[in-house]
Structure 1
């Protein structure tokens, strides 16, 4: 496994591989790696010849300074996981390597994709996401980039970015990975006190009930309303949103009919930790 910190060095290294006909896969992360990230790496290993894993905590996508400061940094463990999953290249840049001398973001307006839900709850978040992903795509120049379906709206935003600016790049969505008790894996889960974990699991239970109701005609909206009320009344949960959407554009479903693009989505704060989750309907 090669560890590279500077963008020019990475570009030269990968160019030599491209000239040899190798297909480059890219897994961008912010570190604090877990089994969900490992599943992305395995997807990349199956689909491409060379896997580049980036570890870069992007300061421009955090709305709260404290959230950025408290984001877990586990460099040694991250590198050990990367080695065990046989990553070919780890790209671990400094802020200046990605943003240059001026750390700024460009406003991103993809309609409801960037305005609703995460866009509304976290103003400017997608400006930061799109800015850093655009820069990383330009540095790595991958053939395929791999993102998890846990960050479902982010995946849709990045698909749109690629369609507009990187038409030759394939965006590969990998399945959401859950812990044994059903909690969606997240680097933030380590901050949930053990005695509060059951409250976090209420989010997944609500999603499952809506998914089950979607199989019966006329039951979807009633299940959404019922679980929305239940979560709002739970004093341990600060609910931000709970809805059924079309994952292509993140418009709220207007009928009981669903497709393979229909998802129930939720965001909430439990024990001071912001959690998001989703479930296909």
Structure 2
């Protein structure tokens, strides 16, 4: 199954198009800074990461750095082709705060989040009761979708792709923001619903679009799956560093859950079949 793309927001996974996997490096922790938590991040990927520190991945980095008793130091680079090559692999930084589980470009830590794609609709509209993409209420509706993402296959299966409004996947978000553009179009009535990766859509709705309802798509039974496990990513071979981060995740999972819940990130069970109850 093709690795998901987190709607460009899916924090780095198979969306590093054109890159090849390098041979694993020898196991070492010598390359990891002892004086700072060096984070590889996109400077304009709000609500995940932002150069002004307002993203929830920034807050996650601060949490991890506090546990390590180190300051945070960033290497900024757009989350697009070449991101890993020019940041983590170039040894300019030591960790990507959010990376889809199972991709070969990085060594994944244990996952700290499982999330899912969401359907976003006006709260006071007739689509607020929809829970799955095969609902007849969606027939004939104009639905926004990030091109090339997994929900598009479900839309096609259910006859919804013909009138879909497509938004670009690979962009430099310093200049273009497909998720925000989609929600703005929904607010203007140019589309009837929006489908976004939950860690992007949930926080945006919470901060800027209170008139919308976020519906996690946890009832889709056929492939491709719409839920994904999110890890931190480190350089291949750096098992000592990976284990240290695994320990931090394990010991502070409740605090991480609360941080994500406060941001508005939908959290689901590891199998993506039910919502995870988290107090914040």
State whether TM-score is above 0.5: no
- TM value normalised by structure 1: 0.27
- TM value normalised by structure 2: 0.27
Which structure is higher in helix share? 1
